[in-house]
Amino acid sequence: MGCRIRRFEAGVVYSAATRCNDRGFLFRPNHNPDNPLLDASCPANALDPSNDITPIPSVINIIGASIGRALKNHPIPLHWYEANVHHEHDGFTPSDDVERADVPHFFRDTHSLIAREINRLLGRENHVYGERYRAEPCLDDESAEQKLVYAMVNAVKDGQVERVSESPFFSTFRHLAFGEPLKFWYIDRTAWWKRGGPIAGNRPKDHMKWVTFELTPLPGWERLSVYQRQTRFRHLIHEAERIAADERAIEGRSAVGVPALRRLDPRDRPHDPNKSGRQPLCHASDPAVRRQYRRDWRDFLKAYRAASIAYRAGDLGVEFPDGSFRPPLVTMYSASAL
């Protein structure tokens, strides 16, 4: 399957998703109730610096700290970030050329940090992500809200839990609903190795750092007060939970529940994995807007392909369509030239 050419337009909300190879995002605590620092389910504020043991971050801490660290280097307006058992959903709105250029770097750094730390936590070497992120534009406020709610209630919609607040996965729900801070800790591995790595007196816990970040309101919510945004968000979530509960009742299904989720092995893959369907070109509440976007997209592809051909042929000054990225240049050498 070919990859869609990336194009990010300023001021447009994008809904993104990335699928994992297995259940790497499963929040399964270590079973060591006598040592809270060795329990991956313990909250960050339960850490006791006086304990001379190695703190082990939970999957939630890994994802949160990775997002915060990536945002420091590549700040983009991030609206939501939600993880399920084997995929994630996020939304963002680049507002200018600098932020548009930062989008791929943000995802590269976030996913790289998440993959390395999850592999370290699970004691394995493997690709965590099974594909690059897919992003589609939301062309109006209504569709942006719909994608936000879709991401937040993903675990409810899939019958894993009954309410979003019960989700054992990484979630920005409580930040959006109640303003709770997004604060996470991580071990600065670079600093640890600079001090000699696994040598006596160089404890990983001495290189523990904290990172915080905040989400940016949706463009359609910027004029609302913080209280109004939180109230609207909670109302949308409660309505989506009610609809999901009605659908489960009609189908005779019940939610799996957190205890059953935690009994799953994060290294396993689902027996019948869902296959990614065809990526939608865009999201819009008005069909006419979607049709116009398809026409504009065809014109964009023609202009991009023409520019790409000229660029690869040596015209490095060729102009590419607004919001797109130049393809990588591959230099070919003949055997005689080596």
Residues 170 and 272 reside in one and the same domain = yes
Per DSSP, the residues of 180-239 read --EEEEEE-HHHHHHTTSSSTT--GGGGEEEEEE-PPPPGGGTTS-HHHHHHHHHHHHHH
5 domain residue, yes or no: no
Which of 262, 281, 300 is the last residue before a domain boundary? 281
Cβ-based neighbour number of residue 68 at 10 Å: 20
Residues 64 and 204 reside in one and the same domain = yes
Residues 269 and 293 reside in one and the same domain = no
Residue 284: both structure tokens together? 């819009």
Confidence grade of residue 335 (pLDDT, cut at 50, 70, 90): low
Residues 42 and 182 reside in one and the same domain = yes
4 domain residue, yes or no: no
160 domain residue, yes or no: yes
pLDDT at residue 274, as a whole number: 61
pLDDT at residue 120, as a whole number: 86
* Residue whose token pair is 């993959």: 115
Which of 281, 300, 326 is the last residue before a domain boundary? 281
pLDDT at 333 over 90: no
Confidence grade of residue 241 (pLDDT, cut at 50, 70, 90): very high
**Cβ pair 38, 31 in contact under 8 A:** no
pLDDT tens figures, 270-279: 666 566 667 8
CATH (domain of 240) = 3.30.70.1290
Residues 201 and 97 reside in one and the same domain = yes
199 domain residue, yes or no: yes
Cα–Cα distance between 152 and 234 in angstroms, integer? 11
pLDDT at residue 272, as a whole number: 61
- HSE value, Cβ hemisphere, 13 Å, CA-based, for 150: 15
Residues 299 and 273 reside in one and the same domain = no
Residues 295 and 201 reside in one and the same domain = no
Residues 167 and 298 reside in one and the same domain = no
**Cβ pair 22, 267 in contact under 8 A:** yes
- For 171, 192, 195, 197, 203, the CA distances from 200, given in Å and listed in that order, are 37, 12, 11, 9, 8
Cα–Cα distance between 197 and 190 in angstroms, integer? 9
**Domain extent at residue 337:** 286-338
328 domain residue, yes or no: yes
Q: What are phi and psi of 301, to 5 degrees?
A: -60, -40
Which of 281, 301, 329 is the last residue before a domain boundary? 281
Total tally of structural domains belonging to the chain: 2
**Cβ pair 248, 159 in contact under 8 A:** yes
pLDDT tens figures, 287-327: 999 999 999 999 999 999 999 999 988 898 899 998 888 88
Residues 272 and 298 reside in one and the same domain = no
Residues 312 and 335 reside in one and the same domain = yes
195 domain residue, yes or no: yes
Amino acid at 1: M
Q: Which of 140, 149, 137 is nearest to 232 (CA)?
A: 149
- Helix ranges, the chain (H): 59-73, 97-122, 141-152, 154-157, 173-178, 189-194, 226-251, 258-262, 287-312
254 domain residue, yes or no: yes
- HSE value, Cβ hemisphere, 13 Å, CA-based, for 69: 20
Out of 29-43, 69-83, 199-213, give the one with best mean pLDDT: 69-83
Residues 163 and 253 reside in one and the same domain = yes
Cα–Cα distance between 57 and 78 in angstroms, integer? 23
Residues 35 and 120 reside in one and the same domain = yes
44 domain residue, yes or no: yes
